[in-house]
Amino acid sequence: MSTLVFLGLPVTLLALGMPVFLVLIVAALAGILFMGGIPLQAIHTSMFGSLDSFALLAVPLFILAGDIMARGGIARRLIELVLTVVGGVRGSLAIATIGAASAFGAMSGSSVACVAAIGKLTLPALEKNGYGRTFGVSLITATGVIDVIIPPSIPMIIYAIAAQQSVTTLFLAGIVPGLIVAGALSIYVMVRARIEMIPLGEPARWRNIADALKHGIWAVFAPVVILGGIYGGLFTPTEAAGVACIYAIVISVYVHRELTWAGVWQIMLDSAVLVGQIMIIVSAAGAYAWFITTSGFAGSLVAAIASMKFETWLLLLVINLLLLVVGSVVEPPAAILVLMPLLSPITTQAGIDPIHFGIVVTVNLAVGMFLPPFGLNLFASHALFGTPLPALYRGVLPFVAIYLAVLMLITYVPAVTLAPLAYLK
């Protein structure tokens, strides 16, 4: 009966299209009524308690910083610099698109914002240079999720809070996987460009690079300030998010002069809508996680799985498949908050490093964001660029295969994520 309450009811409600936060609250309420003896006040106590986290402040601040950078000219200048630097080889424009997405990812953890910012600038050039609209949109859709993997990453922050891990450590562990993804995608587009004889791009010229650097120098400093401050020990990830907001406002309003204070206020209002959507899920997930823990269901689930004597590699494979399916229909923050109370005890019992597992979770949910047929980025690209979904489904399949190959490497070679952590010791 408890399995029906804890798992069957949420799955059923999600399938019926109920909002995620309501699913979690209803599941927690049903569990309390099922067990009896627990006051209903426990729900709102746990909901408010789940928001009482200093690390959680980084989420709204990074969202705001990313929006200001995207609309204030910082992101555009950084992208233009990358496009200028990469040139002279077949596939250079596609490689520049991947590089621009990676650079944007080092400033903001919003994947949909990355798709919009990168796509508006690079898609016309991709079409003009023979890549085709479907390939161009598919590339932008796939590279947009690098934002989820390369720190600062909002899903990593959410995972760190849910699994009680260090945000800074997770950020450091995510750098190499993000670069591997970018490298693998770059190799693929170079090979494809050579096979299809895509015209050579304009060679990189020092004069053009110097001009782009002159206009984009403040954009280059953005990821340096954010990540350098974190790993240099100057401030915590939450403080880095606040610094990023101030930096973005000052540069956009007073240096680039592409935003007014009225524009900044409008961006704050728009960001508040997204932040509200995330935070209400966080609070509802707090109630669900509290009940999962106090009811003993998580312990029972761990014992049941332990009795099956799964090999670690098989357990990881099953979890990967689960996360891919969930990630294709539920946004990463919600998926993490729903699943971590169940998965964390299981992986701890199996001896899986929680930092390594956090990167595995993040990459899985990143792939889910453009996994046909329901990935969030697919619908975002369809809405932004008008590409038919069937064509987009076919176009992203090679990129899905690349991400899955990298996911297997990250899953079964923990050193990919854990080796850089020696820097912290």
Contacts of 55 (CB under 8 A, 6+ apart): 157, 160, 161, 167, 236, 237, 238
Tokens linked to 279:
């935070």
Q: How many CB atoms lie within 10 A of CB 51?
A: 13
pTM recorded for the entire structure: 0.79
Q: How many Å apart are CA 282 and CA 276, to the nearest integer?
A: 10
Q: How many Å apart are CA 43 and CA 24, to the nearest integer?
A: 11
pLDDT at 89 over 90: no
Percent of the chain topping pLDDT 90: 11
350, 311 in Cβ contact below 8 A? Answer: no
**In the structure, what pLDDT confidence band is assigned to residue 107 with cuts at 50, 70 and 90?**
low
pLDDT at 109 over 60: no
Exposure of 179 by Cβ count < 10 A (0-12 exposed, 13-18 middle, 19+ buried)?
middle
pLDDT at 200 over 70: no
Cα dist from 296 to 3, 6, 164, 307, 382, whole Å = 12, 11, 19, 17, 44
Return the pLDDT at 261.
Answer: 92
The helix/strand/coil state of 322 is helix
In this prediction, residues 261-289 reach a mean pLDDT of 82
Express each pLDDT in 140-176 by its tens digit.
888 888 888 888 888 888 898 888 888 888 988 988 9
| Distance, CA of 218 to chain centre | 24
In this prediction, residues 410-416 reach a mean pLDDT of 92
**In the structure, what pLDDT confidence band is assigned to residue 356 with cuts at 50, 70 and 90?**
very high
Closest CA to 235 of 154, 152, 156, 160: 152
> What one-letter code names the amino acid at 369?
M
Tokens linked to 231:
């790993």
Domain boundaries along the sequence of the chain: 54-424
**In the structure, what pLDDT confidence band is assigned to residue 224 with cuts at 50, 70 and 90?**
confident
Mean pLDDT in the chain? 80
236, 244 in Cβ contact below 8 A? Answer: no
Closest CA to 396 of 424, 372, 420, 364: 372
29, 40 in Cβ contact below 8 A? Answer: yes
pLDDT at 380 over 70: yes
> What one-letter code names the amino acid at 136?
G
Lowest pLDDT segment from 206-215, 236-245, 317-326, 384-393: 206-215
Q: How many Å apart are CA 143 and CA 136, to the nearest integer?
A: 11
Between residues 188 and 110, which one has the greater pLDDT? Answer: 188
Residue 278 DSSP one-character state: H
**In the structure, what pLDDT confidence band is assigned to residue 294 with cuts at 50, 70 and 90?**
confident
Closest CA to 66 of 8, 105, 17: 105
Express each pLDDT in 26-81 by its tens digit.
887 877 777 666 777 777 777 777 777 776 787 788 878 877 887 887 877 877 77
Lowest pLDDT segment from 236-240, 256-260, 350-354: 236-240
Closest CA to 361 of 397, 401, 330: 330
